Amino acid sequence: MTQSIATYSPSAGAQPRADAVPEEASSAAERRESLIVNGLLALLGILFLAPLLWIFFASVDVNASWALSWPRFTLAHFREVTRGDFLVSLVNTLLLSLVASAVSTVAAILGGYALSRRRVPLADGLMVTILFLTGIPLAIMIVPVFQVYAQFNLLNLWATGVFLGVCSLPFALWLIKTGMDAVPKELEEAARMEQASVLQIILYVTVPVALPSIFAALIYSFINAWGAFLPPLVLISDQSQITGPIKIYGLIGSSDVRYGDIAAFSLIYSLPVVILYILMSRPFSGGFSMGGAVKG
């Protein structure tokens, strides 16, 4: 776990080790303080872990229910939810999330660069507008979007992925624009001297340096689409294209509620997100600096 979120990435600035400073401070007080800090954090960690107990227990319990009980061990639930159409739904979720994150990240890199480096009329107004778009409930857009999609025969996985990408775009744009603001301009000047085109500058100069924020945007879009529930429920009409959350929702709404299967499938469905976290935690953590994102 050396790549944890808490290991400071060099790109995020100097390591503040304020706690190591006054060496003359009594070591007893230091130790007491460190005990309190670690104790409090451990307590918070336990509190955050507690709700997760159920999903682990129920997924391997013959008599699973909503209640927490020591499981009578079985792997039947996992066998049940790794059959054909459950796996298909996960592959669909993956495709949906890839389309969504590609759409939002590519658009946001280009747009973010323009907003960060170029003179854009009404840029501040645009940023604020984009900002509040983050707070719009999807439920109110779903009917208009459905009507448009139905008109153009777009009620499928791919078009839904594009819609979900657009839903994440405001925040992705914002993250990437902020990340690019921090990239020193001298780098670009050098490239400009060598007659590089704007696109080349973006791809080979700005993007590599702003990578943490781009990763953050990518992951944000990915997990947003991965967790999306209402849009795929409404916008995907082909049975062979339904996604993981819809499958879980079907299990809950079924006349025969199979708690163990719900828990087991939720675990499997959540796993990629955890893997993503482990793989990406380092670039991810640096990408969330968003100090003065909007200029007054």
Partner 1 sequence: MEGDVAEKPDGVAFLLLLPTLILLLALFVGPVLYAFYLGLTNIALMGPTARHFHFTGMFNLHRLVRDSLFWESLKLTAIFVAASAIVGVTVVGMALAVLIQHAVAWLRAVVGAIVVVAWMLPPLTAALIWYAFSTTGGTLSLLGGSQLDVLNTFPMFVVCLANIWATAGFSMLVLSAGLRSVPTEVLEAGRMEGASRWRVFCSLTLPIIQPTIVTNILLVTLLSLANFSLIYIMTGGGPGNATNILPIYSYQQALVFGKLGYGALLGDVVVIIATIFAYLYVRVSRITRMAAA
Partner 2 sequence: MLEHRRRPLCIAALAVAALTVAGGTSRTAQAADKTVISCAYSETYVFDNEDLTKKWWGGIKADFEKMHPDVTVQLVPIQGGYDDIVNKLSLLYRSPATAPDIAQMATPTVDRFASSGYLLPLDKYLAKTDWWKKFPPVIQAEGAWQGKTYSVNTGENDSMLYYNVELFKKAGLPVPWKPTSWNDILAAGRVIKAKLPGVVSIWILAGTGSGDNTVLMGVDTMLAGSSTPTIFDEKTQKWVVDSPGLREVFSFYHSVFSEGLGAKLSDLFSTSGVTAPVFMIPKNQIAITFGSNFYGGNWSKLVSTPYWPQAPQVAAVVPVPTVNGKAPNISTTIGGWDLAISATTKHPDLAFELLDFMMNKENQINAANWAGFVPADTDYVKDPSFINFAAPYNELSAVVLPDGVIEPPSGDYLVWSRGAQEATGALAQHPNTTVDQAIGILSDYVKNQLDPSQTEVLK
Residues forming the site for partner 2 (CB under 8 A): 66, 98-99, 102-103, 105-106, 143, 146-147, 150-151, 153-156, 158-159, 161-162, 190-191, 194, 196, 200, 203-204, 207-208, 233-234, 237, 239, 242, 246-247, 249-257
28 makes contact with partner 1 (CB under 8 A): no
CB of 294 to partner 1, least distance (A): 6
CB of 51 to partner 1, least distance (A): 4
Contact window for partner 1 (CB under 8 A) among 70-78, 79-87, 203-211, 268-276: 268-276
Query: Which of positions 48-67 make contact with partner 1 (CB under 8 A)?
Result: 48-55, 58, 65-67
129's tokens: 């507008």
User: From the list partner 1, partner 2, none, which binds 148 (C-beta under 5 to 8 Å, kind-based)?
Assistant: partner 1
CB of 86 to partner 2, least distance (A): 11
User: From the list partner 1, partner 2, none, which binds 203 (C-beta under 5 to 8 Å, kind-based)?
Assistant: partner 2
Instruction: Give Dmax (Cα) for the chain.
Output: 74
Q: Are 269 and 65 in contact (CB under 8 A)?
A: no
Q: Please name which of 156, 143, 139 lies closest in space to residue 99, comparing C-alpha atoms.
A: 156
CB of 196 to partner 2, least distance (A): 6
Contacts of 123 (CB under 8 A, 6+ apart): 115
User: From the list partner 2, partner 1, none, which binds 170 (C-beta under 5 to 8 Å, kind-based)?
Assistant: partner 1
3-state DSSP assignment of residue 25:
coil
User: From the list partner 2, partner 1, none, which binds 242 (C-beta under 5 to 8 Å, kind-based)?
Assistant: partner 2
What single letter denotes the amino acid at residue 188?
E
Contacts of 242 (CB under 8 A, 6+ apart): 89, 92, 232, 236
Q: Are 214 and 176 in contact (CB under 8 A)?
A: yes
Here's the x/- map for partner 1, 151-190, by CB under 8 A: it reads as: -----------xx-xxx-xxx-x-------x---x--x--
CA angle 192, 194, 199 (to 5 degrees): 55
Selected from 88, 110, 196, 211, the binder of partner 1 by CB under 8 A is 110
DSSP β-bridge partners for residue 229: none
286 makes contact with partner 1 (CB under 8 A): yes
Cα dist from 263 to 65, 127, 214, 228, 275, whole Å: 10, 41, 33, 18, 18
